[in-house]
Amino acid sequence: MLPTPSDLPLPLLITGLAGVAGFNAFAHFRRHHGDAVIAQRSVKNWPLRGPGIEACDLEDAAGMRRLFEKHEFRSVLSCGGSCALKSCELDPAMARRVNVQGLHSLLAAIKDRPTRLVHLSVDLVYSGDFAGDYVETDPADPVTVYGHTMVEGENLLLNERPDACILRISLPMGVSFNGHAGAVDWIQSRFQKNKPATLYFDEVRTPTYVECLNQAIAAVLSNQLAGIYHCGGPHKMSLFEIAQVVNRIGGYPPELLQGCPRIEAGPVPPRAGNVTMNSSKLLRAMPELTIDPWPLCPEHVPTHRNWHFERGHDEQGSLKKLQETLYAKPFGQNL
């Protein structure tokens, strides 16, 4: 059985509100549990404010301690960190401060509390230089500073908090706070401004609807799973294919989409290859859990590189259609 609202240890803290995963998780859990859910955002991100949102930098150990003393959290969903690949590559000290030191502060705030801790890591702990379909026992071999700091954070949690659960996610498909941070948001914002977008043929991911991700998070917060689990969708899609879907479903001019192999991306940041993940371990541990494919509708899956040019006379793409099918599962449809 999947968890009921009463199964979740409350109050719940969600760190990293500015990211797609944290932003959508906060909306989901706040809707179900109200004031028992609190979100953390960085102090300087002042536009991100509202009920239940607390301003505190993750690496501020004293501030995090005060936050725990104020709310007495019984569970934490850790989504914090910087995933800006180029920024991390150019400023490794910043990347480590945010992605690793922030976890040190969180662990210090939890101390010996019996707090349920679920941490979101990422598929980019792998290089993707092999055939993909990674399982949890495959050795991490990241090609970016961001990936290295995420591995360091994983190891810190495994050593300091062995009862914590680490979910490695891929691209969470949902809205972002600033309108251009998420995969769909960034791509469609380029097309919406009539600007070209160049995506890679050979960077392959396992995107996941945020609805499925939130359901998995709720289940893991409510049980005692520990260690590393992959949590990606069943469709393996290149960044170029993802952009094809956005282009056609959104009704944008097909010539705005351009593609290239990742070797042409330049040295900074380096690009991973096929980092698709096998999530069988998580699904075996929770048989009632389902992770639907993104996109859900089979007719929205590209079949070749010119697929997004194929528009029927009665096919009308739009931002509304994009929002209804790519940001969220189409209403009433399940596989």
Q: What are 56-99's pLDDT values in tens digits?
A: 999 999 999 999 999 999 999 999 888 889 999 999 999 999 99
Confirm whether 35 is domain-assigned. yes
Cα 90-93-94 angle, rounded to 5 deg: 80
Give the pLDDT score at 84.
86
Give the pLDDT score at 246.
97
How many domains would you assign to the chain?
Answer: 1
pLDDT in tens, 303-314: 999 999 998 877
CATH assignment of the domain containing 28? 3.40.50.720
Give the pLDDT score at 3.
55
Give the pLDDT score at 2.
56
Per DSSP, the residues of 83-118 read: --HHHHHH-HHHHHIIIIIHHHHHHHHHTT---EEE
Give the pLDDT score at 268.
85
Segments in the chain forming alpha helices (H):
20-33, 61-71, 85-90, 92-96, 102-110, 145-160, 183-192, 210-221, 239-250, 280-285, 319-325
User: CA-to-CA distance for 34 and 18, rounded, in angstroms?
Assistant: 19
Confirm whether 184 is domain-assigned. no
Give the pLDDT score at 143.
95
Confirm whether 93 is domain-assigned. yes
Sort 62 into a burial class: Cβ within 10 Å, 0-12 / 13-18 / 19+: exposed
Confirm whether 27 is domain-assigned. yes
Give the pLDDT score at 258.
96
Give the pLDDT score at 188.
93
All residue ranges of the chain with pLDDT < 50 are: 331-335
Closest CA to 124 of 103, 102, 98, 151: 151
Confirm whether 250 is domain-assigned. no
If DSSP codes are grouped into helix, strand and coil, which group holds residue 63? helix
Confirm whether 215 is domain-assigned. yes
Confirm whether 197 is domain-assigned. no
Beta pairing class for 197-200 and 116-122:
unpaired
| Dihedral sign from CA coordinates of 144, 148, 151, 153 | negative
Which residue segment(s) compose the domain that 134 sits in? 5-178+206-235+276-283
Give the pLDDT score at 313.
79
Confirm whether 194 is domain-assigned. no
Give the pLDDT score at 335.
33
C-alpha distances in Å from residue 26, one per residue of 18, 168, 211: 10, 19, 12
Its pTM stands at: 0.94
